[in-house]
């Protein structure tokens, strides 16, 4: 097991902190690293895709889990895969897809680890039907503060505290995940433009973009132009998709299916390729205008690879540098159904301030996860990236927090880098239970992070 001292940040490249980094390659080495932690505790880290400080630990220890990366078993009779926590979703899909299997929940990047995905209880574009990842975890191996490796099953308090628990109940070492069958490596996609936010919300809920049998496509998300103003405020492009059956594929694609199938980025850039720091209001507005105008008014039946549909942003591997040397702040929140006016107010405030946001996504959420700190609750979720150096950004986002909290909504802790502890406590009603379980399970504070200290988790 290698050990070094490094300065680490999240994907947003803000608030760097220094920690001792351990790189375990076995369960035993991970346990030794936890036992060898200093007084500032330890936290697990995957591929560093958390935008904020969830996988940092100033003055303490960080366990780089990417060395634990084995896919241990695929049971095709039960549709279950068992793997180590350090396996990336991208690599896991490369193993599964050639065999006709797919993950029931796929987030917007494949470059996160299984452990990080469970610790964040990630969701995908099909959340209203599929829910979040915790629903498909059959069991997980958890290294707790006492050095014991526990097999944790759904329906227990420890499972619900761990899924979405941001690594603070212990180190996830491995997991068994339930899978789903897919008929091909391609996705059939429909795209439509919406003239404003009301139009966009209506298109989400109108059930358009159904398959050939009239059923709605399970995957749906929208890009939102947050720089549009006036009657165009909140305009966007809605994209839906479903796994394409072999019968709709062209002949050459059906022949290709006989060969091993892989998930590979198709090279199409997901955003403007600009030198860091040049993405200001003017360039962002020009990009947004071009993106909106170039989208089809309505198109169905387009075939895309799984990577192009699910992980388009991975085609731009250093997209976190577009906002300059100061980095970016990701703001993600959700408000419930019936609180659409609150969503409108937030969008209008962002538009009026002319925030240079070109990555802004809108999705719907369905039933909540049992995870105590899991983010999704039924409603609408909006995500945007903003330059960390934007003057007055902290005060502005504090104001949006107040708007969201007043509507009964919440921000996403797994992607947060600046929320105040009292705000987080108001948004997550089970936080007190989470703290109690941590105090009982980990009385000496073995597992800590910069996020945990900042939010008093």
Examine the pLDDT at 326 and tell me if it is beyond 90: no
Q: Read off the pLDDT band of 282 (50, 70, 90).
A: confident
Which of 8-12, 157-161, 186-190, 274-278 has the lowest average pLDDT?
A: 274-278
Q: Give the separation between CA 161 and CA 370, rounded to whole angstroms.
A: 9
Q: Give the separation between CA 158 and CA 437, rounded to whole angstroms.
A: 8
Q: Read off the pLDDT band of 215 (50, 70, 90).
A: low
**What confidence tens digit (pLDDT) does each residue in 46-86 have?**
999 999 999 999 999 999 999 999 999 999 999 999 999 99
**What confidence tens digit (pLDDT) does each residue in 373-420 have?**
999 999 999 999 999 999 999 999 999 999 999 999 999 999 999 999
> H-type helices in 82-182, by residue range?
89-96, 114-120, 127-130, 157-162
SS3 state of residue 275: coil
Radius of gyration of the chain (CA): 21
Q: Read off the pLDDT band of 265 (50, 70, 90).
A: very low
Q: Give the separation between CA 104 and CA 231, rounded to whole angstroms.
A: 38
Q: Read off the pLDDT band of 252 (50, 70, 90).
A: low
The pLDDT value given to residue 207: 56
Task: Give Cβ neighbours of residue 257 (< 8 Å, ≥ 6 apart).
Answer: 184, 185, 246, 249
The pLDDT value given to residue 316: 78
Question: Which letter does DSSP use for residue 212 in this model?
Answer: T
Exposed / middle / buried, residue 232 (Cβ in 10 Å: 0-12, 13-18, 19+): middle
**What confidence tens digit (pLDDT) does each residue in 2-42 have?**
999 999 999 999 999 999 999 999 999 999 999 989 999 99
- The order of strands in the sheet holding 149-152 is 71-75, 80-84, 171-178, 137-143, 149-152
The pLDDT value given to residue 269: 40
**Which residues on adjacent β-strands are paired with residue 361?**
223, 383
Task: Give Cβ neighbours of residue 33 (< 8 Å, ≥ 6 apart).
Answer: 1, 22, 24, 42, 61, 63
Nearest CA-CA partner of 179 in 284, 73, 61: 73
* Average of per-residue pLDDT across 425-453: 97
The pLDDT value given to residue 251: 64
Select the more confidently predicted residue: 97 or 281: 97
């Amino acid at each position: 097991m290698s050990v070094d001292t490094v300065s680490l940040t999240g994907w947003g490249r803000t608030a760097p902190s220094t920690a001792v980094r351990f790189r375990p390659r076995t369960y035993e080495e991970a346990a030794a690293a936890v036992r060898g932690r200093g007084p500032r505790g330890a936290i697990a880290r995957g591929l560093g895709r958390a935008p904020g400080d969830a996988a940092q630990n100033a003055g303490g220890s960080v366990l780089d889990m990417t060395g634990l990366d084995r896919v241990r078993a695929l049971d095709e009779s039960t549709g279950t895969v068992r793997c180590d926590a350090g396996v990336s979703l991208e690599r896991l899909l490369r193993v599964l897809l050639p065999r006709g299997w797919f993950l029931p929940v796929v987030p917007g990047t494949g470059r996160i680890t299984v452990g990080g995905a469970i610790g964040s209880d990630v969701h995908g574009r099909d959340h209203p039907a599929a829910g979040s990842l915790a629903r498909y975890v059959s069991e997980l191996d958890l290294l707790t503060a006492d050095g014991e490796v526990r097999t944790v099953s759904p329906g227990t308090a420890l499972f619900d505290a761990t899924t979405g628990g941001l690594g603070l109940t212990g180190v996830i070492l491995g997991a068994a995940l339930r899978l789903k069958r897919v008929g091909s490596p391609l996705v059939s996609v429909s795209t439509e433009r919406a003239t404003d936010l009301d139009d966009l919300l209506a298109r989400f809920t109108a059930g358009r973009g159904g398959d050939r049998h009239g059923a709605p496509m399970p995957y749906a998300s929208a890009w939102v132009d947050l720089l549009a103003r006036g009657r165009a405020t909140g305009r966007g492009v809605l994209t839906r998709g479903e796994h394409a059956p072999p019968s709709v594929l062209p002949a050459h694609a059906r022949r290709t299916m006989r060969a091993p199938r892989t998930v590979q980025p198709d090279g199409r850039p997901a955003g403007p390729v600009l030198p860091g720091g040049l993405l200001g209001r003017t360039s962002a507005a020009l990009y947004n205008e071009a993106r909106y105008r170039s989208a089809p008014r309505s198109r169905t039946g387009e075939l895309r690879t799984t990577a192009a549909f699910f992980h388009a942003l991975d085609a731009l591997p250093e997209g976190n540098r577009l906002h300059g040397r100061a980095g970016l702040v990701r703001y993600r929140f959700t408000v419930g159904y019936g609180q659409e006016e609150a969503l409108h107010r937030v969008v209008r405030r962002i538009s009026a301030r002319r925030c240079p946001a070109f990555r802004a996504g809108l999705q719907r959420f369905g039933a909540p996860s049992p995870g105590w700190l899991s983010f999704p609750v039924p409603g609408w979720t909006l995500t945007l990236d903003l330059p960390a150096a934007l003057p007055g950004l902290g005060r502005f986002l504090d104001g949006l927090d107040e708007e969201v909290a007043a509507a009964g909504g919440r921000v996403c802790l797994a992607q947060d880098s600046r929320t105040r502890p009292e705000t987080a406590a108001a948004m997550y009603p089970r936080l007190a239970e989470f703290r109690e379980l941590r105090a009982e399970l980990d009385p000496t504070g073995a597992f800590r992070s910069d996020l945990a200290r900042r939010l008093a988790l």
